[in-house]
Amino acid sequence: MDFRERHVIVTGGAGALGTAVVAALVEAGAICHVPCLDEAEAARFRFRGHKQVMVAVTGSLTEEAAIDRFYRTIASLWASIHIAGGFAAAPLRETTAAAIRQQLDMNLLSCMLCCRAAIRAMRDGGGRIVNVAARAGLEWRPGAGMTAYTVSKAAVAALTVALAEEVVKDGILVNAIAPSIMDTPANRGTMPKADYALWPKVEEVAATVVFLASPENRVTRGAVVPVYGKS
Active site residues: 149
- Do residues 192 and 185 touch, judged by C-beta distance below 8 A? no
Q: Is 175 exposed, middle or buried, given 0-12, 13-18 or 19+ CB atoms closer than 10 A? A: buried
List Cβ neighbours of 190 (8 Å cut-off, separation of 6 or more).
none
Alpha carbon distance 218, 206 (integer Å): 18
Alpha carbon distance 101, 180 (integer Å): 23
59: left (phi over 0), alpha (psi -120 to 50) or beta: left
- Pick the closest to residue 7 from 138, 142, 26 (CA basis): 26
Can you name the residues that pair with 82 across neighbouring β-strands?
A: 11, 131
Q: Strand 77-82 relative to strand 53-57: parallel, antiparallel, unpaired?
A: unpaired
